Amino acid sequence: MIPSLATPRLTLNAFTPADGPRVEHLAGAFEIADTTLSIPHPYPAGAAVEWIAGHADAWAGQRQLCLAIRLRDSGELIGACGYPQLQMGHQAEIGFWIGAPYWGQGYATEAAQALVDHAFATLDLRRVHAWHLARNPASGRVQQKIGLQPEGMRRQHVVKWEKAENVVMYGLLREEWLALRASR
């Protein structure tokens, strides 16, 4: 069963097929597709429901976890987060996107922190890591706020819009997370 995580302002839980149109609306914005690799633009009608349909099997196979980010008070869907790559017992990549109307309110940081805490406290992983396109420093600020440490840049590592892009890498080890948690 897909886990549910709670933060002071957010609930992170399973998507439902009813979320499809909202995902297409939020993720379909050019600003979202522009800074992610897997979100198309324009977002095809019906593609979100198909994407959501694969989540349970991906989690059951311990390969991936994708959670809806919802405002805790209203249940309104505002984004997505999860582990797009998961190696149980070892490491997970953290990924997230927040709909543009909700930017600048700390929701990405809050959701990403919940993922880090879940990865170490519940999944007992050794390491989490994340990356962002070098031209998207806002994502890097989120990664730094949740304690991830810079690990370098991979030059022309990915292709977006037919252009080679640099990516900035971050990571956090279990021991570092424990030290950060003790200082909170």
Residue with tokens 């992170």: 12
Q: What angle do CA 108, 41, 36 make, to 5 degrees?
A: 35
**Residue 2 confidence class, pLDDT cut points 50, 70, 90:** very high
Q: Tell me if residue 43 falls in helix, strand or coil.
A: coil
Return the number of other C-beta atoms located less than 10 Å from residue 137's C-beta: 12
Number of domains in the chain: 1
pLDDT digits (tens, 9 = 90+) for 39-55: 999 999 999 999 999 99
Q: Is the pTM of this model over 0.95?
A: yes
Give the integer Cα–Cα distance in Å for 5 and 53.
Answer: 20
Return the number of other C-beta atoms located less than 10 Å from residue 180's C-beta: 13
Mean pLDDT calculated for residue range 65-90: 98
Residue 184 confidence (pLDDT): 82
Domain range for 170? 5-183
pLDDT at residue 127 above 90? yes
3-state secondary structure string, 102-133? HCCCCHHHHHHHHHHHHHHHCCCCCEEEEEEE
For residue 55, the domain's CATH number is: 3.40.630.30
Hey, CA dihedral for 10, 16, 18, 24, is it positive or negative?
Answer: positive
Give the integer Cα–Cα distance in Å for 43 and 63.
Answer: 24
